[in-house]
Structure 1
Amino acid sequence: MAAQDLSVHIARWLDSLSLQAGSKLVLAYSGGVDSEVLACGLSEYAKQRPDLRYQLIYVHHGLSPNADNWAKHCKTRAAIYGLPVTVERVQLVLGPRVSVEAEARKARYQAILAHLNPQDVLLTAHHEDDQLETILLALKRGQGPKGLAAMGHIQPLSLAGKGSCLQVRPLLDISRETIEAFAQTRQLVHIEDESNQDDKYDRNFLRLEIIPRLKARWPSIATTASRSAQLCAEQQAIVETEVSERLPKLLAKAAVTEQTVLKLTELAAQPIEWQGILLRGFIESQGFGLPSYIQLQQILQQLMYAKDDAKVQIQIGDCVLRRFAGRLYVDNVTKSFTDNMAGREDCRERTPAIYQITDLNLHQHLLAFLRLSQPITVQPIPPLALVQHGTRLRLPKVDEVVSLGYGLPGQFRCQPHFRDKGRELKKLWQECAVPPWLRADVGFVFYNDKLVMAFGLWVEKAFCVQGDELGLSYLIAKP
């Protein structure tokens, strides 16, 4: 492509999006030559489509002493282009084993995505050589088709709590040489980030040392590598379609937490080459990053071949995988409530309360006490209500102290509303399918020294309301 045709190329890409009036095009603007060229093309497109909104966003990481000058440069250039610009300042949290590249990218995207809504489009200035770098890094990490598919021209981008928008890369099939020639022809002023010359960063090493030698030997390697990435993307799309059909049959709702869990017996029945693919699909469907191939094989080994009563708990990145009752649970890595139990006073000693139950207003005080006393780690918290139907706890009498306790011993004997005879708590945990890591979070309501209810699980049979009297309902499990 001739350099002078680049503006037309950008306009055609944007036209292909069929954007509705009022939609916003947001450019991740660094002031480097790539984003400068895209900003120039965007300014020309804005004259054709004044019904759209436009915004350039420069993210100030504070990593370079020149960052303030770069922010001024972006403001100056934006004024020349006639486009609004926003400077977002972010602060990176760095430490041992923390990649500066990865943290900077994460912070940059978080800052930019805050400006986007589902009908908007994020433009990034990735080009053909960036694609080659991404493919080489995927090879270095041993990634499969999904990683080797690298970047797409158009990809959905998740917006936290707001759905998703599109990320578009109009320059992805354009060479660096063409971009630089266009910038020179238009006399575009751009900045040079000094960190781009530091080959301790993987991308810089490839850009400075490896790709020039590859291009010297095979001038079209960036183009042919992009073709391979496209083929991998097509294969990955087929795999994802098959996963979307197979995976739902392996899923269930957990009895207590109501979260989606994976049925391991059904997973084990799948062809061995599909087990890892489906496990990855499940982890990804729960919003977590994917494990490496080696990690995935180790996870499968521990999940499939552990004894039924084995406590399997595996932490991968920001998620923890746990096996219980033939199901796989995936949760965020957070400090377990159980870890805080040591030294904690029994709630029955710490938060006694006496209620003179005489009217509905005081009933509401009782509900508030029980709600506030429950830990927030058991999710979802079911409705706590005063009702006249269904299984429910009788309200306390005037002389009864209402209290809440945790961590009852396994030998504690209970008689839930769904059992004709009493049973030890350790047996009821299994019967109600309460995972071991949540048992310390289950609250037990007492009237004086008598157990009357296990939150979310049962009402003690002797304290169930009879007839149509008003009672307290707080049940999840339905054994």
Structure 2
Amino acid sequence: MNIAASILQCIKQLPQRSVQVEPITGEQTCLKKRKLVLAYSGGVDSEILAHGLSLFAKQHLEFECLLVHVHHGLSGNADKWAEHCLSQADVYGLSCIVKRVEVKLAPRVSVEAQARSVRYAALLSELEPDDLLMTAHHQDDQLETVLLALKRGLGPKGLSAMGKVQGFNQQNWIIRPLLDYSKAEIQAYAKQHDISHIEDESNFDDKYDRNFLRLEVIPALKQRWSAIAATASRSAELCALQQSVIDEEIAIRLPELQQQKGRGRTLCLDKLATYSKAWQSLLLRGHMESQGFAPPSKVQGEQILAQLLEAKVDASVEIRLTDVVIRRFKREGYFLSLDSVQNKANKVYPVVDVVNIDALLSGDIALPTGGTLLTQRCQTGACLRFPTASEQVSIVFALPGSTRCQPHNRSKGRELKKLWQELALPPWERGDVPLLCYDGKLVAAVGYWIEKSFLARDGTSGLSLNLRQS
């Protein structure tokens, strides 16, 4: 095994860097050292990778190599493991950081999943854009991942398991130099080089799915089919290859179905309906992933599509999953963060009183929605007249739907509710629109219209109003 060469092979698969730091002196520039961070548990897998990294670091001074040990505190031996990692780092001549994290345990919450989440968050805190995270996953880990994907009923993307080189966190890369090596080869390497390592007692607790596979299932599979880990890895690579083609096609088709609305993108349901059932499923999953949400299961995807595409026109559609709320309005699918929906539920924003004309002309007024009202003087276009000295200025966020309005660009008045419908503003977003009032009378819906009777007269100065979202 030549681990340093395996690390370099992974790095050569990465796109060429183009990031430079500021000039040092005169016109000299220096390409910033790329950080290579190893997720270092101290177990035999990460230990031999740390050994290989020490050799790589001596040959490639253009990289800043770092070991990061995440201290979960779940074991009574956690402190000893951290001490072991710091001690071994000295042997390797590498820097090592111990990151202490808290794993919050709760009913129906997987300890494995929670520990993994906080571990990656800790590792991510050490990465800057374009830096590399390196993990010690090997061929047997790949087999475990494929089996877990089968157990969960995942498709080609799940069955493609782990790649040697993958994008991570949208601005970093994760590399796995040991992915072609078996556990037996790793153990042989550790013995050959007399590498000390720790044993995590939780690895022998078969209540965890991975441990059950590692202790009970995979040995039986290997006894029957000795090359099962290698052949499963080939299957994963084939799935990854097919998934890459699907991803390319989705990247071409999806933008035609998406429309920017506020901070997110909606999905055009009429266009989605023109595709086959198979493509509808793929495009739905692609859209959800592009918006940062976990893709749905097969059954969930079928239910989402049925409700978005087949429910009656006037039906109120709301689907809640683990991290997303899906709603339909005006033949558009809206995908909203569950946290944002819960935070806005039954929330009533307070009235913002503007003390005087100077405050209104200050240029920016902080709003309880998190946005900012931007004001400035104007003489052209639709300008709001200034309030008189006696008029009280306020900003509210809710008025009855029956409120009569006459936008500056309309010849007739209309109820507020009807105007929102014409503007295709979803009901759950209407309460966030700042409504500027003089003496309690609506004079402008910021970002949408100015009341016609409150326009500044020709030739006189007035106010232009804009909204900046946080």
Q: Normalised by the size of structure 2, how large is the TM-score?
A: 0.91
2:67 paired with 1:56: yes
Report how many aligned residue pairs link the two structures. Answer: 452
Partner of 1:364: 361
Among 264, 270, 290, which residue is 1:285 paired with? Answer: 290
- Judge conservation of contact 1:388–1:469 (CA < 8 Å) in 2: yes
2:449 paired with 1:458: yes
Partner SS for 2:335? strand
* Higher deviation after alignment, 276-285 or 302-311: 302-311
Ranges in structure 2 where 5+ consecutive residues have no aligned partner: 18-30
Q: Which residue identity does 1:62 align to in structure 2?
A: G
Instruction: Describe how 1:463-474 pairs up with structure 2 within 5 A.
Output: 463-474=454-465
Distance 1:28-1:55 versus aligned 2 partners, 3 A rule: same
Distance 1:281-1:384 versus aligned 2 partners, 3 A rule: farther
Partner of 1:219: 226
2:452 paired with 1:447: no
**CA root-mean-square deviation:** 2.1
Q: Which residue identity does 2:145 align to in structure 1?
A: T
Partner of 1:408: 399
Partner SS for 1:323? strand
1:8 deviates by: 4.7
Partner of 2:134: 123
1:332 deviates by: 1.1
Partner SS for 1:87? strand
- Judge conservation of contact 1:39–1:81 (CA < 8 Å) in 2: yes
1:116 deviates by: 1.3
1:14 deviates by: 4.8
Q: Which residue identity does 2:438 align to in structure 1?
A: Y
Distance 2:103 2:456 in 1: 57
1:382 deviates by: 7.0
Distance 1:340-1:43 versus aligned 2 partners, 3 A rule: same
Partner SS for 1:191? coil
Ranges in structure 1 where 5+ consecutive residues have no aligned partner: none
1:109 deviates by: 0.8
- Judge conservation of contact 2:43–2:198 (CA < 8 Å) in 1: yes
Among 239, 242, 248, which residue is 1:235 paired with? Answer: 242
Distance 2:58 2:466 in 1: 61
Distance 1:194 1:413 in 2: 70
Q: Which residue identity does 2:388 align to in structure 1?
A: K
1:21 deviates by: 7.1
Distance 2:297 2:164 in 1: 25
- Judge conservation of contact 1:338–1:441 (CA < 8 Å) in 2: no
Partner of 1:339: 346
Q: Which residue identity does 1:198 align to in structure 2?
A: D
1:167 deviates by: 0.7
1:465 deviates by: 1.9
Partner SS for 2:346? helix
- Judge conservation of contact 1:337–1:441 (CA < 8 Å) in 2: no
Partner of 1:426: 417
Partner SS for 1:301? helix
1:50 deviates by: 2.5
Q: Normalised by the size of structure 1, how large is the TM-score?
A: 0.89
1:383 deviates by: 4.2
CA deviations over 1:389-447 (Å, ceiling 9, x no partner): 32221111111011222321111111111211111111111011111111222232211
Partner SS for 2:171? strand
2:399 paired with 1:394: no
Partner SS for 2:146? helix
2:66 paired with 1:72: no
Distance 2:381 2:355 in 1: 26
- Judge conservation of contact 1:60–1:90 (CA < 8 Å) in 2: yes
2:160 paired with 1:140: no
Taking every aligned residue pair, what percent have the same amino acid on both sides? 50
